[in-house]
């Protein structure tokens, strides 16, 4: 009981420090906020968002193919570019839901591998769906078919001297020193775009 009281007191102390005064108003920091249906927690990791997505998808799993495509895959794809750089654990959790949806549609037992089922359904794995969405945004930004704030974040690669790579339609990759910086659109978009085969 004393341990529980100590935990409550320490939690209260943290909350007390997260209070902002604006004029006469007092604003208390929230542990998690939602913006356009995306859950962002104070650690800026996607664990809460992944949990919400899994919960919503699990609710609709006992439905048929059309509903699965309309509800589950759309939920998995919603704002999934934000998952770029998230942990392998989060990706694996989402992939399990994706695999369950594929098994449900094909009426396969849980023991069957989901990989051939995903191929039959022409479904990309979760990590590839995240990369694909990011690359779609990048392509649109390069062709001025995206919001201005995204178009401004992609810069064509311009070498200081004449190189063959200058004609490969590559992007300038900004240097960062943190993992969060590597996940920023300006960096992630350029690095993923440059990793594409030249023929694409």
Q: What is the DSSP string of 75-138?
A: HHHTTGGGGTT--HHHHHHHHHHHHHHHHHHHT--TTS-SHHHHHHTTPPPHHHHHHHHHHHHH
User: Which of 196, 192, 50, 45 shows the shortest CA–CA distance to 131?
Assistant: 192
Q: What is the pLDDT of residue 39?
A: 86
Residues β-bridged to residue 127: none
Q: What is the pLDDT of residue 16?
A: 47
Q: What is the pLDDT of residue 12?
A: 45
Domain residue ranges of the chain, discontinuous segments joined by +: 18-121, 131-195
Tens digits of pLDDT across the chain (200 residues)? 455 445 444 544 444 457 788 888 888 877 888 888 888 887 778 888 899 899 888 887 776 777 888 888 899 999 999 999 999 999 999 999 999 999 988 889 988 999 999 999 999 999 999 999 999 999 999 999 999 999 999 998 887 766 665 667 889 998 898 988 999 999 999 999 999 988 87
How far out from the chain centre does Cα 144 lie? Answer: 23
Q: Are 80 and 130 in contact (CB under 8 A)?
A: yes
CA distance 40 to 35: 8
Q: Are 123 and 104 in contact (CB under 8 A)?
A: no
Integer CA distances (angstroms), 11 to 8, 19, 59, 177, 183, in order:
5, 13, 32, 32, 30
Q: Can you give the pTM of this predicted structure? A: 0.72
What tens digit of pLDDT does each residue of 156-168 get?
Answer: 888 776 666 566 7
User: Which of 90, 113, 92 shows the shortest CA–CA distance to 103?
Assistant: 113
């Amino acid at each position: 009981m004393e341990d529980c009281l100590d935990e409550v007191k320490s939690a209260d102390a943290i909350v007390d420090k997260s209070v902002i005064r604006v004029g006469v108003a007092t604003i208390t920091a929230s542990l998690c906020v939602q913006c356009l249906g995306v859950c962002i927690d104070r650690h800026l990791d996607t664990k809460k968002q992944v949990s919400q997505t899994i919960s919503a998808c699990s609710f609709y799993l006992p439905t048929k193919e059309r509903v699965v495509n309309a509800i589950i895959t759309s939920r998995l794809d919603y704002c999934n570019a934000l998952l770029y750089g998230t942990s392998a654990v989060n990706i694996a959790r989402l992939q399990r839901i994706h695999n369950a949806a594929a098994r449900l549609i094909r009426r396969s037992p849980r023991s069957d591998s989901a990989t051939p089922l995903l191929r039959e359904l022409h479904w990309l794995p979760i990590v590839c769906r995240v990369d694909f969405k990011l690359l779609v945004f990048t392509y649109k930004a390069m062709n001025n078919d995206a919001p201005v704030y995204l178009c401004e974040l992609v810069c064509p690669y311009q070498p200081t001297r004449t190189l063959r790579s200058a004609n490969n339609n590559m992007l300038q990759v900004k240097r960062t020193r943190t993992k969060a910086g590597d996940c920023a659109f300006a960096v992630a978009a350029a690095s993923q775009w440059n990793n594409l085969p030249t023929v694409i």
